Structure 1
Amino acid sequence: MTDDYIKHKYDPILHQKDEWPVVKLSKYRKEFIKLVAEASKERILNFTGHNVDLLREELETTLYREKMRIKQNPWVVDPDDDNEFWSGVKSSLVQLTSESNLSTEAKREGYHKILYNITTRYAEEIASSFKHSHYKATRRMVTFGFSRLLNAARVKGFKSLFSNQYTLQDKIQIIGETDQLRDLSSKGTIVMVPTHFSNLDSILIGWTISTLGMPPYIYGAGLNLFNIQIFSYFMNALGAYKVDRRKKNLPYIETLKTYSSKAIQFGCHSLFFPGGTRSRSGKIESKLKLGLLSTAIEAQRANYQKGMNDISGKIFIVPVTINYHFVLEAPSLIQEHLSLTGQERYYKESDEFSTSYKISKFLVKFFTKGSDISVSIGNAMDILGNYVDENGSSLDRHGRVIDTRDYFVSNNKISVDNQREEEYTSMLGKRIVEEFHKINRVFSSHLVAFTAFEILKNKNKKLDLFSLLRLPEEDLVISYELFSSECERVRQRIFELRDEGKVHVAPHLKTDIDSIIKHGLQNVGMYHARRPLIQNTSGEIITEDMSLLYFYHNRLDGYDLEKLF
């Protein structure tokens, strides 16, 4: 993968919408929900060992948690009949437990029916509602709206609103293994796993998939996004299935995993953020949520069990990193991270972006500034983390072709081995984290934030992080000469890492150091009221918000660059 991006207009891989797997799934939606609900029920029964008492306890725990959710943490997007449904579950449970003359078998059937009703409700809630007409309209709306904003910013005057001089690919740069991704998506099934820093990621990835000429993916989007009207429209139109992180009970978790696994087996290209949620610290994710990731491995094994041993039954994992100069929600994200890690040592202040108006205002601001976004597509891997070649064949570390089917064979047949599949999932998670760092693209904003924070940390070696964040303004000043020399030192090391294949750099990092610093200062945290880094009238480098500086510094965590200081 090169550091530079190539502007390219990609032809659609599948020209007819009826050929899109997500369209086929939408036509089969009712039957698919029933399939997921029944399979989820069986998974849960296997967990409880078909023991009636254990199943009853699981159902009672689920009921309690759901009633508490409704009471303590209701959302606008929640169904109107939420309370009514769970009251019905309570009545059914009370009736079964109070009737002493019922046989064990009758109770078992009753509990199974309640469980099926719950998994059906969850499957219906999770399932996407993809409509081709809405997808087409949304794609045009996003492209038209963003392009008009971009041209209005770069070409002054009223006519600029209708100019096509600049395209979104001037602003949003797609780099990396795009041809491999397109090629493999017509041969097998893709599971795309991006980094996650902003609520804008979902829309951005959806636009990227469309721009590359690929059919739409299904993907899990946090149910909280559907509380915001503008996001709700986009998520529904783009085929998102809903993930409610308030629900921690076994029936919900198993229904969600079953939905993902069955959709991948159906041939739907899928996308989920393996970090589980937005990075609160600003760091590239190092610990992944393995639940949904395990569904790719489960789907691969299921395909082998069905006899799909050719390339059409193969599942490819494609890591993606999204690179921003600034993150809209950075103030609230870093506050949450510091509150969780520092507890009473950190004092939280509110700064949240949570309405359609604020999101729309941000989009206008973003596209009328000069800041860029980069989407880096990594090398495709199999479900064990091995690279694959242009034919989709798996390669070991020596470049030899291997057959992943062999990893699922026991006694000459494909068999379920939960412990072994857990190990495969852990291996895959580690490989994804490695690839995230390799395909990460360093921006000037990352460089200046990292260098400034490390200089201040080095000046105050005896202070822990939370004491450092509370330093007075007079101690947060860096001379330009020191800052410039240290930025150059860090830049040189970054280029060494680039040459070793451990990271990528944006083209603007190849200019002179003064231009890089100027560009970085202009872009880092450009939208925030309190800037993480600025140059004062005396030419010195100062920060208006040490916590924000820490957030943007963290993007270069994991490369041992702090050892330079």
Structure 2
Amino acid sequence: MPKGNSKDKSYKPILPGTNAWPVVQLSKNRKQFIAKVIEEALNKIKDATPGRQSLREELESTLYQEKLRIKQNPWRVDPQDDYRFWEQVKNDLVELATEHEARKQEEEILHRIVSRYANEIAGNFKKTRYQFTREMVKFGFARLLNATRVKRFGAFFRNEYTLKDKIQVTGKAKQLRKLAKRGTVVMVPTHFSNLDSILIGWIIHVLGMPAFIYGAGLNLFNIKIFAYFMNSLGAYKVDRRKKNSIYLETLKMYSNLAIQEGAHSLFFPGGTRSRSGEIENSLKLGLLGTAMEAQRSIYMKHPNGEGKKIFIVPVTINYNFVLEAPSLIHEHLERQGAEKYYVESDEYSTSYNMIKFLIKFFTKGSDISVSIGCGMDLLGNYVDDEGNSIDQHGRFINTRDYFTSNGEITADKQREEEYTRRLSQIIVKEYHKINRVFASHLVAFIAFNLWRKQYNKLDLYDFLRLPEEEMVINYDVFRSHFKKVRKQIFKLKKENKVNVAAHLKGNIDDVIKLGIDNVGMYHSKRPLLTDKAGNIITKDLNTLYYYHNRMNGYDLKKHI
């Protein structure tokens, strides 16, 4: 991992014009591409349900789940004819004819469902809107930065500060650019905030790369301002309420075929924002598996070796604070503790609230960093700048061999599922290696563990109910533990097991102050602050727990 960051660098576009972008080519042939998704998904589903009763059961299960979704969890973004469509499916299933004709009719119903899903999922990238939106995001964020960093009249209209002053890009940016010219990149970032998609989109632009397609939660399309941005920036829609296999197969086929077409892709393999605040330690294998299937399919279609290689690039997004932290940790605790805990609803579900969200985010002088990891192949081997795979012994290897049986490229579902599991585990390790430790992460981790050890006989939920007034840590005690843990962090960095922000190396008292000032700085109830005597206190243990979790996975508790 290179030292410093690339925030002051300017990157030229890797392709001469937007017409050469894979996502532009995909959008030009949108109807044909959707038709191909429908056809391929239908074939796969029919192959998986060869018996008449098998397909009928799949359709009935899908109908049941969709009716339940409409009743229990409707969204504004849902189509107006949602209820009517599924009522018609229900009626058609009831009225199926004789057994001889039933399979054909069932397949016709399946076709309608898959077609509906494919058209819902499909992105609607438009080159002109992309360019306009890109400039609008850049302009709007820059105005906010200038208005808040420069406290004087007229600062809103100045250009003194840009996003490059706010967002630091570290890691393998140059390699990422080279790989994007040699093959197809699948970027897999950590996911903490609703801002992640826009920030990553901006980073892709800054690095001079073509627009990526990416899966965005359908719930975000409830928010009109986000819907416009995401439609313009290459998003396709992912509805995480839909768990039925017909929808999931259609979604995976969309991703698979887009990657085969050479469209650089981005998805959050954790599946959704981290509710606990910790780096993802268990990834969803569905969309990740589509990259595996796409690579095998490319090899099968190009036996002469001309097919593009797919590269996996892990990315960690590092914030001092996450605006949604209180609601996210409430949801996590409710899931983990069932009846022991109460969950509150997401507070950023409207355009008005999202605009407030953006303004409040940029009114704080807290930096963000985006850490780009080393490129890997689908087996988790590192690749060099030319895209050549290198095994753990430093030898060049041909990834085609991993998909070969008896001298031929073959489809083997069990084998590819095992490869995908292995890849997911390697990505998690990479997240921890390229993660940048901020002072805010460290002060939260140390304070929470000092209090937790003080009340170690209580379970977590009883501990979190303790009155905050009882929580006080003598500053000298806190400082001593901070010094010890920071030393261990630097040791882990030397071992290439983590990265650190430059500010963590400063004078210890300055670093502690910076961390306390930044952690949860927006929240009305601060997770960490100092009292008049200079001791460490908290106003919100739950949110402190969220920020503490960021440092899980490094075996640091034993040093406190």
Q: Give 1:270's aligned residue.
A: 265
2:214 partner SS: strand
Give the distance between the partners of 2:384 and 2:268, measured in 1 at CA.
24
Residue 519 of structure 2 contacts residue 528 of structure 2 at CA under 8 Å; is this kept in 1? Answer: yes
Give the distance between the partners of 2:271 and 2:481, measured in 1 at CA.
35
Q: Give 1:250's aligned residue.
A: 245
- Gaps in structure 2 of 5+ consecutive residues: none
Give the distance between the partners of 2:469 and 2:34, measured in 1 at CA.
61
Q: Which amino acid aligns with 1:40?
A: A
User: How big is the shift at 1:369?
Assistant: 1.5
Give the distance between the partners of 2:25 and 2:446, measured in 1 at CA.
51
Spell out the pairing of 1:466-545 with structure 2 (5 A cutoff): 466-545=461-540
CA RMSD of aligned residues (A): 1.3
Q: Give 2:55's aligned residue.
A: 55
Asked if 1:410 is matched to 2:411, the reply is no
Moved more, 321-330 or 83-92: 83-92
Give the distance between the partners of 1:127 and 1:409, measured in 2 at CA.
32
In structure 2, do the counterparts of structure 1 residues 19 and 339 end up closer, same or farther at CA, with 3 Å as the change threshold? same
User: How big is the shift at 1:156?
Assistant: 2.9
Q: Give 1:167's aligned residue.
A: 162
Asked if 1:421 is matched to 2:402, the reply is no
Asked if 1:336 is matched to 2:320, the reply is no
Give the distance between the partners of 2:338 and 2:110, measured in 1 at CA.
39
User: How big is the shift at 1:489?
Assistant: 1.0
In structure 2, do the counterparts of structure 1 residues 487 and 311 end up closer, same or farther at CA, with 3 Å as the change threshold? farther
Q: Give 1:69's aligned residue.
A: 69
Spell out the pairing of 1:83-94 with structure 2 (5 A cutoff): 83-94=83-94
- Gaps in structure 1 of 5+ consecutive residues: none
Q: Deviations over 1:270-307 (max 9, x none)?
A: 00000001111001000100011000000000000001
User: How big is the shift at 1:194?
Assistant: 0.3
Give the distance between the partners of 2:121 and 2:240, measured in 1 at CA.
12
Q: Which amino acid aligns with 1:57?
A: E
Give the distance between the partners of 1:417 and 1:158, measured in 2 at CA.
65
What TM-score results when the alignment is normalised by the length of structure 1? 0.97
Q: Which amino acid aligns with 2:89?
A: V
Q: Give 1:563's aligned residue.
A: 558
Give the distance between the partners of 1:3 and 1:462, measured in 2 at CA.
43
Residue 189 of structure 1 contacts residue 312 of structure 1 at CA under 8 Å; is this kept in 2? Answer: no
Q: Give 1:222's aligned residue.
A: 217
Q: Which amino acid aligns with 2:119?
A: E
User: How big is the shift at 1:472?
Assistant: 2.3
Q: Give 2:121's aligned residue.
A: 126
Q: Deviations over 1:513-535 (max 9, x none)?
A: 11111111111001111110011
User: How big is the shift at 1:503?
Assistant: 0.5
> Equivalent pairs: percent with the same residue?
62
Give the distance between the partners of 2:207 and 2:352, measured in 1 at CA.
30
Residue 468 of structure 2 contacts residue 541 of structure 2 at CA under 8 Å; is this kept in 1? Answer: no
Find 2:227's aligned residue among 232, 237, 240: 232
User: How big is the shift at 1:350?
Assistant: 5.4
1:165 partner SS: coil
Residue 446 of structure 1 contacts residue 555 of structure 1 at CA under 8 Å; is this kept in 2? Answer: yes
Q: Deviations over 1:15-43 (max 9, x none)?
A: 31111111111111111111101111111
Q: Give 1:114's aligned residue.
A: 109
2:182 partner SS: coil
How many residue pairs were aligned?
Answer: 559
Give the distance between the partners of 2:304 and 2:480, measured in 1 at CA.
57
Q: Give 2:391's aligned residue.
A: 396
Q: Which amino acid aligns with 1:59?
A: L
Q: Give 1:4's aligned residue.
A: 4
Residue 23 of structure 2 contacts residue 212 of structure 2 at CA under 8 Å; is this kept in 1? Answer: yes
Q: Deviations over 1:71-99 (max 9, x none)?
A: 22111111112122222222222221xx3
Q: Which amino acid aligns with 1:476?
A: M
Spell out the pairing of 1:254-403 with structure 2 (5 A cutoff): 254-307=249-302, 310=305, 313-349=308-344, 352-403=347-398
User: How big is the shift at 1:359?
Assistant: 1.8
User: How big is the shift at 1:308?
Assistant: 6.0
Q: Which amino acid aligns with 2:425?
A: K
Give the distance between the partners of 1:349 and 1:58, measured in 2 at CA.
34
Residue 364 of structure 2 contacts residue 522 of structure 2 at CA under 8 Å; is this kept in 1? Answer: no
Spell out the pairing of 1:29-48 with structure 2 (5 A cutoff): 29-48=30-49
User: How big is the shift at 1:310?
Assistant: 4.3
Residue 303 of structure 1 contacts residue 313 of structure 1 at CA under 8 Å; is this kept in 2? Answer: yes
In structure 2, do the counterparts of structure 1 residues 351 and 53 end up closer, same or farther at CA, with 3 Å as the change threshold? closer
Q: Give 1:14's aligned residue.
A: 15
Residue 299 of structure 2 contacts residue 307 of structure 2 at CA under 8 Å; is this kept in 1? Answer: no
Asked if 1:202 is matched to 2:203, the reply is no
User: How big is the shift at 1:56?
Assistant: 0.8
In structure 2, do the counterparts of structure 1 residues 351 and 269 end up closer, same or farther at CA, with 3 Å as the change threshold? closer
Find 1:186's aligned residue among 181, 184, 196: 181
What TM-score results when the alignment is normalised by the length of structure 2? 0.98
2:314 partner SS: strand
Q: Deviations over 1:297-348 (max 9, x none)?
A: 0000000000166475100000000000111111111011111111233344
Residue 311 of structure 1 contacts residue 392 of structure 1 at CA under 8 Å; is this kept in 2? Answer: no
In structure 2, do the counterparts of structure 1 residues 311 and 191 end up closer, same or farther at CA, with 3 Å as the change threshold? farther
Q: Give 2:433's aligned residue.
A: 438
Give the distance between the partners of 2:503 and 2:126, measured in 1 at CA.
40
1:560 partner SS: coil
Moved more, 357-366 or 369-378: 357-366
User: How big is the shift at 1:227?
Assistant: 0.5
User: How big is the shift at 1:153?
Assistant: 1.9
Residue 321 of structure 1 contacts residue 440 of structure 1 at CA under 8 Å; is this kept in 2? Answer: yes
Residue 493 of structure 2 contacts residue 500 of structure 2 at CA under 8 Å; is this kept in 1? Answer: yes
User: How big is the shift at 1:370?
Assistant: 0.9
Give the distance between the partners of 1:487 and 1:345, measured in 2 at CA.
32
Give the distance between the partners of 2:231 and 2:479, measured in 1 at CA.
47
1:186 partner SS: helix
2:255 partner SS: helix
Give the distance between the partners of 1:351 and 1:255, measured in 2 at CA.
28
Give the distance between the partners of 1:426 and 1:298, measured in 2 at CA.
13
Residue 315 of structure 2 contacts residue 370 of structure 2 at CA under 8 Å; is this kept in 1? Answer: yes
Q: Give 1:554's aligned residue.
A: 549
Give the distance between the partners of 2:201 and 2:304, measured in 1 at CA.
30
Give the distance between the partners of 2:439 and 2:552, measured in 1 at CA.
15
Residue 149 of structure 1 contacts residue 161 of structure 1 at CA under 8 Å; is this kept in 2? Answer: yes
Q: Which amino acid aligns with 1:412?
A: G
2:216 partner SS: strand
Residue 2 of structure 2 contacts residue 172 of structure 2 at CA under 8 Å; is this kept in 1? Answer: no
Moved more, 303-312 or 191-200: 303-312
Q: Deviations over 1:156-210 (max 9, x none)?
A: 3234223322221110111110000001101100000000011111111111111
2:95 partner SS: helix
Q: Which amino acid aligns with 1:4?
A: G
In structure 2, do the counterparts of structure 1 residues 306 and 178 end up closer, same or farther at CA, with 3 Å as the change threshold? same
Q: Which amino acid aligns with 1:29?
A: R
Residue 347 of structure 2 contacts residue 353 of structure 2 at CA under 8 Å; is this kept in 1? Answer: no
Residue 348 of structure 2 contacts residue 357 of structure 2 at CA under 8 Å; is this kept in 1? Answer: no
2:169 partner SS: strand
Q: Which amino acid aligns with 1:187?
A: R
